[in-house]
Amino acid sequence: MEKKKILYISQEIAPFLPKSEISNTARKLPQVIQENGKEIRVFMPRFGVINERRHQLHEVIRLSGLNICIDDKDHPLIIKVASVSAARMQVYFIDNDEYFRRKFTLKNEKGEEFEDNDERSMFFCRGVLETVKKLGWQPDVIHCHGYMTGIMGLYIKEMYGKDPHFKETKVVYSLYNDGFSKDWDNRFSEKLKFEGFSDEVCNNFKETSFDNFTTQVLNYFDGINVSSEELSPELSKAVKGSTCHKLDFVEEEHFAKELSAFYDKVIEESALA
């Protein structure tokens, strides 16, 4: 039987960024799922704070060179790769000078969230999908970690789902006690409109608070995994309001069994629907 293919995308992965709940999970989960018999690919943004020399990043020329248009502006897509030798795992990095070369991740030196985080999220998610197409690799499941990956379900269900490469792809979202406190750009819905999303979809994102963003994006996922032991009341409410498959918090030692079975459930039950 052909191995199931799981694509992991995360806004942070250790050891390339400091250890955190998200970066630790996004580092360990792909490894145990691969060891459990599934095929994996892993992507994250190439934030400027990542030390390329220490982690031996190098550009993949054959995958780079595409331009991605965000808000009517072309942005060159650069793809880099590095290995996590202890896990026999490669990590692909989505890079662009304008969006990711600054020496910070999602906040500046004053701790203020960047004004263009919405565009950075759009570029990252689209960059992943375009690169996976170039690789000729068709994922059965895309598992998203961190709010920067939150619009991946929207892209798959409303745009890339029409592409034969992703027509069978299911999308799972891990929810952490992670969010943005400053509303995203109030033109976010206009930027989505420019991408080709319908007025109905765009209208749902006119309010750009984190609470509304989360409530809306959960409508486009096939599965939700609660990845923080205790979620905030707001996130818990959003999870309860969702009708997709759900998996409660899983301890690290049970990742392989629980998450692998969850992927199979999402794939099989969605196929029967």
Domain locations in the chain as residue ranges: 5-272
CA 100 to chain centre: 16
Instruction: Give the 3-state secondary structure of residue 45.
Output: strand
Predicted local confidence at residue 161, as pLDDT: 86
b vs e for 252-266, b when ≥16 Cβ sit within 10 Å of the residue's Cβ? eeebbebbbebbeeb
13, 225, 243 from 266: Cα distances, Å = 24, 12, 13
- DSSP structural state of residue 185: P
Low-confidence ranges of the chain (pLDDT < 70): 1, 270-273
Predicted local confidence at residue 86, as pLDDT: 84
Specify whether the CB–CB gap between 119 and 191 falls below 8 A.
Answer: yes
Q: Which CATH class is domain 5-272?
A: alpha beta
CA atoms of 90 and 201, how far apart (whole Å): 35
Predicted local confidence at residue 271, as pLDDT: 54
Quick: pLDDT tens for 190-231.
Answer: 999 999 999 999 999 999 999 999 999 999 999 999 999 999
Q: What is the DSSP string of 47-75?
A: -TTS-HHHHT-EE-TTT---EEEETTEEE
Give the contacts of 62 (CB within 8 A, at least 6 positions apart): 134
Q: Is the pTM here over 0.95, yes or no? A: yes
Predicted local confidence at residue 116, as pLDDT: 98
Predicted local confidence at residue 2, as pLDDT: 84
